[in-house]
Amino acid sequence: MFEIRWHGRGGMGAVTAADITASAAIKAGFYALAFPEFGAERRGAPVTAYTRIDKEIIYDRTPITNPDVVVVLDPFMVSSPRVLAGLKEGGYLIANTTKEPSEILDQIADLRRLRITVATVDATSIAMSVFKLPIVNTAMIGALVAATNIIPLSNVVEVVRERFPERLAEANIHLINESYKLLKVMRP
């Protein structure tokens, strides 16, 4: 099973990102499950969402405590111990930040010890250029796909086209493609 934990704040789209990723995985022939975990349900409050992907039916709906991937939508949450807790050895940290992957590795010593692949993209700037709002969820899906190759990008695009009206879908597909191209990755 491949487990992804998404961290963001209310209004950034972490729950939608988890759901789109699960839907794209299903289109790719996997079983998948996405679900959120909320504290205070308000814009700006911390939000955690989860995506599980497997070749077999998934019954487990408990929070993911040892993810293969942590995707961070809020740049201010990147170095939070709560966000990074339980990340598997050899896993991935994919962050929306202006920092280089090497800066994140230098800032958080445990990432080197655990042989974590660190990937960064300035998803906020990409989203602001398109939407004039820092809604980075689809950009971070592009980053996830580029870093992990867990699902084909074409399946993500197909889900976005089905989920959103045409104009909004095309804008989100632009975000996905830009993030996919601009992702910086540092492997152990």
Query: Which domains can be identified in the chain, with CATH numbers?
Result: 2-186 (3.40.920.10)
Give pTM, 2 decimals. Answer: 0.94
Those residues whose C-beta lies under 8 Å from the C-beta of residue 60, and which sit 6 or more positions away, are 52
Enter the tokens of residue 158: 């197909």
Enter the tokens of residue 105: 């590795």
**Residue 40's pLDDT is what?**
57
**Residue 52's pLDDT is what?**
98
State how far the alpha carbon of 180 is from the alpha carbons of 7, 30, 80, 87, 150, in Å: 19, 22, 25, 22, 13
DSSP 3-state of 178: helix
Closest CA to 68 of 116, 123, 24, 22: 116
**Residue 45's pLDDT is what?**
80
**Residue 26's pLDDT is what?**
98
**Residue 148's pLDDT is what?**
98
Note down pLDDT in tens along the chain; length 188 residues.
999 999 999 888 999 999 999 999 999 999 999 999 876 555 668 899 999 999 999 999 999 999 999 999 999 999 888 899 999 999 999 999 999 999 999 998 889 889 999 999 999 999 999 999 999 999 999 999 999 999 999 999 999 999 999 999 999 999 999 999 999 999 98
Closest CA to 35 of 12, 58, 68: 58
DSSP 3-state of 147: helix
Closest CA to 98 of 124, 70, 132: 124
Q: C-alpha 58: how far from its chain's center?
A: 20
**Residue 32's pLDDT is what?**
98
